[in-house]
Structure 1
Amino acid sequence: MKITCLKEDLEKAVSNTERITGKNLNLPVLKGILINVNKSIVLSSTNLDLGIEIEISGKVEKEGRVVIEGGILNSLLSNIQTNKNLTLELKSNNLFITGENIKITLSTLPSNEFPLIPKPKKGKSIKIKANLFTNGLKSVWSSASNSTIKPELSSVYIYPNGEQVIFVATDSFRLSEKKILFNNIVNFEPILIPVKNVVEIIRNLEDTTGDVEIIFEENQISFIYKKQFLTSRIINGAFPDYKQIIPKEFNTEIISLKEDVINSLKQSNVLSDKFNQIIFSVFPSKKTLTIKSQNEKGENISRVEASLNGDDIEIGFNYRYIIDAFQPISSDSVSFSLTGPGRPMVIKGVSDGSFIYVVMPMNK
């Protein structure tokens, strides 16, 4: 195998593939990046949950394949200062990388042990703007659970509803739902993508301009864009009937500027307790809303300008769960809807009904 390519192109492809390499001690080849040269130059990696292939431009002098440990190759390329061509040549189970003032020799991993990355065979597909799909994922993924005890809760749930695709995630303490309008949507089966895979899907797609083709299959979801292919396994499980936990009627309503609430929350967090608890004191009868916190260092009471309606209530929440609600909300004003003590609060943008956030109060 012998190729010549731009260092910049190689470095970018290696950086993207290296993130998806595996750490399976029983299969050391998963730490590697496969460089497969067969008329074209394609870099691949997989951790058996995710797989990626990236084609780069370059001159092919001799076809072949080689697997190099991804972390080492990525570190070397990031420290090479030249932006000119690099030549990669496989000789006697070693990869030689040469260029201007550069001569590197790397040992290889057995390429015959590198697992095949499953390609889609059949399934329903849609072609959409990449930023629409990543917007859906980015709006909800932080609400997924970090624990894998219940895989369906450490996933993002995606399903079609008419001309919309709905993205949902919950860890049972908070829930996010984002509705994205797509043209010419196909009626695919609901899927669960592991949240750790969602993070990598976002990273790979968020800088992509133009369309991405998404292929839905029974056990995987695949993305084809530019000269890249990305595939993720999906979870076999049942997502909770989440609509049952979203309150329909409310006793107290708050409307305030988003930035005012965020600033008050951040101020209160400085003196929040070890549970990150902040207290919403909502008194429509006095026309006052305060957000307060207290720990052994002191106390903070921050008054927020707001429109208030309904019953008076004091209720505590985890600061982190509340602050996570605002990034997906594009509206300048937000609404907070409460049903009573011990009941969830619903947060939405006043002028944007595409996102809803439900958060449970703290028991303490």
Structure 2
Amino acid sequence: MKLTIERSVLLKSLGHVQSVVERRNTIPILSNVKLDATPDGLKLNATDMDLEIVETAEAQVQDAGATTAPAHTLHDIVRKLPDGSQIELTYNAEDSQLALRSGRSRFSLSCLPVEDFPAMVGGEFSHNFAVSAGDLRALIDRTRFAISTEETRFYLNGIYLHATKSDGVDVLRAVATDGHRLARFEVPLPEGAGGMPGVIVPRKTVGELRKLIDETGMDVSISLSETKVRFGFDEATLTSKLIDGTFPDYERVIPTENDKVMEVDRKLIADAVDRVSAISTEKSRAIKIALEKGVVTLSASSPEAGSAVEEVEASFDAGPLEIGFNSRYLMDILGQIEGEAARFDMADAASPTVIREVSDGAAIYVLMPMRV
């Protein structure tokens, strides 16, 4: 194998594939990236057995061939080479070494046999459709913060993606929850997505997918089977196992009878929560919200730090109400609202609160209260 490639091209592709590779691996081959020099360019492949990325980079291939090299080491070397430099990669099968030359720099990396590199069996993808990069970005960004990190409830460790109806309109909906807060966002259902199975896309896959979306303005092709999902980009393909579990009936968690409604400037209340929460303890992050006609009072106190109180103007006509929230969870939700005004639908101090953007019904957030 012998090829020449521009540093920035190789660095971009290595940046994508090496982030799939775990830093600590009990199986040595999984620490490596597969490099396959073909007439179409350099094909890079990395996997952790649950997630696989394949990307093709433009390169001048003198001799076709394939090998595997340490992913993180190769990425670090290329990252530290000067901008604009040309890189020559040569693999010698006799000593299983990959030689990297660039300017006056010379590196030799130990390789593992390409035959040992695992192949992720794709299987039959029963549903195929395309989603615009903007819609897919919004589905992820508006919900991923609520993904659970609790491994015992593994079925909450991802985003639940499914087709459903909203006010009689077909939509593609993303839902995530960790039991303390829930995020739901939807976009019009893409053509060809009708009848797709509801799937749970794992947290790590969501992170890798989000990086790739930032670098494309094109539609993203999505292929689904019962056990896998594949996202197709211009030069890259991301294939992932799905979480094998049943996502809970989230509709039962979203209250519909909350009759105490507050509308408030999103930035004003977010800034006030941020300031007041400086006093709350690191463990609970609790703040209290007291509502009266026309005003909301935020407060926090801790034995060590003292107390804080701030008032914010708000539209509220119901009777007085006091409710406590985890300030970080509340800030996460307010950070997702893009419009100027946020709406809080509340019932009492012990019931979940529904938070949404006044001007946009595509997103709904549910936040559980806490005792303060």
- Scaled to the shorter chain, the TM-score interval is over 0.9
Measure the CA separation in 2 of the matches of 1:25 and 1:292.
Answer: 47
Please name the residue that 1:2 is paired with: 2
| Map of 1:177 onto structure 2 | 184
Q: Which residue of 2 aligns with 1:100?
A: 103
Q: Which residue of 2 aligns with 1:130?
A: 133
Tell me how far apart the structure 1 counterparts of residues 190 and 99 of structure 2 sit (CA, whole Å): 49
Q: CA deviation at 1:64?
A: 1.1
Which residue of the other structure, out of 244, 251, 260, is the alignment partner of 2:252? 244
- The CA deviation at 1:327 is 2.7
Q: Name structure 2 gaps, 5 residues minimum.
A: none
Instruction: Show the counterpart of 2:213.
Output: 205
One-letter amino acid of the structure 1 residue matched with residue 75 of structure 2: N
Once the two structures are TM-superposed, the CA of residue 7 in structure 1 deviates from its matched residue by 1.0
Partners in 2 of 1:206 and 1:165 — Cα distance?
A: 20
Q: CA deviation at 1:183?
A: 4.1
Query: Which structure 1 segments of 5+ residues have no match?
Result: none
Do the aligned residues in 2 keep the contact of 1:139 with 1:327 (CA within 8 Å)? no
CA contact (8 A) 2:130 2:190 kept: no
Structure 1 moving runs of 4+ over 4 Å: none
Q: How does 1:188-267 map to 2 (within 5 A)?
A: 188-267=196-275
* Aligned equivalents of 1:170, 1:185: Cα separation in 2: 27
- Per-residue deviation at 1:154? 1.2
Aligned counterparts of 2:2 and 2:80: Cα–Cα separation in 1: 22
What secondary structure does 1:21 align onto? coil
How many corresponding residue pairs?
Answer: 362
Cα distance in 2 for partners of 1:185, 1:353 equals: 24
Match of residue 292 from structure 1: 299
1:251 and 1:340 in contact (8 A); partners too: no
TM-score (norm 2): 0.94
* Cα distance, 1:237 vs structure 2: 1.3
Q: Contact (CA 8 Å) 1:214, 1:224: kept in 2 or not? A: yes
Q: How far apart are 1:217 and its partner, in Å?
A: 0.9
Partner of 1:348: 356
**1:243-290 deviation line (CA, Å, top 9, x unaligned):** 111111123211011000111011011101231000000112xx3211
Distance (whole Å) between structure 1 residues aligned to residue 204 and residue 238 of structure 2: 14
SS of equivalent residue, structure 1 residue 104: strand
Aligned partners of 1:118 and 1:8: how far apart in 2? 31
1:116 corresponds to which residue? 119
Q: Any idea what the Cα deviations from partners look like across 1:93-137, whole Å, max 9, x if unmatched? A: 111111222211111123221111333533211122122112101
Task: Give the superposed CA RMSD.
Answer: 1.4
1:336 aligns with 2:365: no
Q: SS of the counterpart of 1:149?
A: helix
Candidates 252, 271, 286, aligned match of 1:277: 286
Once structures 1 and 2 are overlaid, which stretch shifts more, 111-120 or 318-327? 111-120
Deviation larger for 76-85 or 180-189: 180-189
- Seq. identity, %: 24
Q: Deviations along 1:161-201, whole A, 9 cap, x unmatched?
A: 25310000011111000011244242211001111221111
**Any idea what SS the aligned residue of 2:351 has?**
coil
Letter paired with 1:156: I
